[in-house]
Amino acid sequence: MDSSADEIITEIPYFIRVYKDGRYEKLSGTDTVSAGNDPTTGVQSKDVVISTDSQLFVRLYIPKTNTKKVPLLIFFHGGGFIIETAASPVYHNFLNLVSSESNVVIVSVNYRKAPDHPIPTCYHDSWEAIKWVAQHGNGNGPDPWLNEYPDYENVFFAGDSAGANIAHHMAIRVGSEHPGMKLAGVILLHPYFWGIDRVGSESQHPWLPGMTAIWMFAHPETSGLDDPLINPDMDPKVSDFGCSRVLVCVAELDILKDRGYLYNEILGKNGWTGDIQIFEDKGVDHVFFLKDPSAEITCTLRKRMCTFINS
């Protein structure tokens, strides 16, 4: 037996380990939980396969209070384009709370991930999900929940980390391709943007090599760290951004914090004239809100989302 097959050729802590023979282990984000009725919030959820070819599915959430048309939130989970799914317990629990507290219908997109499906697959899948949702705008789409409950004049995109990156690119595509829904706002939670030049305190952060490694692994054909998909400052399409309101949340201890602040400048200098709100949560790190749902600071972040969606 060739023991060299067990040699590790790539490892990104918390994300993935790849062996010489091509095998890999995802080191976190592999647990799943079924959809259904959440006894705490009363939110109902279900999974719907929207492409039999790719097995792309979305998880739908309907709040208990659904006597009228309510806003629609299309959500893209994080995980560095490598780990986590729409069925991950941390996202399922988070979105049950968001749906209940904000009284919003949620479509959580289970896009395909690296290494089996490297970037740009996640963007293609996410756009397919958006187009599928848009079919319901006239009440004649394939899913009865999406025909009945959402207000398609009041649609939001949201995501965390890599999912926030996807939400950003989907908003640009809405602005250029107009899929048949009105995008009212975008919520970026700890967005994963990057670049060759260091910003703010990035160079002092211990996760500096990790941020680069994640991108290069997830997108092996990338042009590099200034690829427009990871560095919005290099993207000529930013001016197509398809809504007038953006909420950006950053965390004080997160290596990506300064990229969140820079995002405001990037939109402005590219001619975007909308309203952007940036909030920084003190003393916490990347995607803290997934790890402790009942913490006061997490509840504050969800209330911030609720205010943004319902204002």
Point out the residues that are catalytic. Answer: 161, 254, 286
State in Å, rounded, how far the first CA of the chain is from the last one. 64
DSSP annotation of 137: G
Cβ contacts of 1 within 8 Å, gap of 6 or more: none
Amino acid at 118: P
Cβ contacts of 238 within 8 Å, gap of 6 or more: 172, 232, 266, 267, 270, 272
Residue in the structure block whose two tokens are 């009284």: 103
Cβ contacts of 106 within 8 Å, gap of 6 or more: 59, 60, 61, 72, 73, 74, 75, 95, 98, 99
- Nearest Cα neighbor of 229 from 245, 215, 250, 248 is 215
Cβ contacts of 81 within 8 Å, gap of 6 or more: 113, 114, 119, 122, 162, 214, 218, 219
What is the rounded distance in angstroms from the CA atom of residue 167 to the CA atom of residue 90? 19
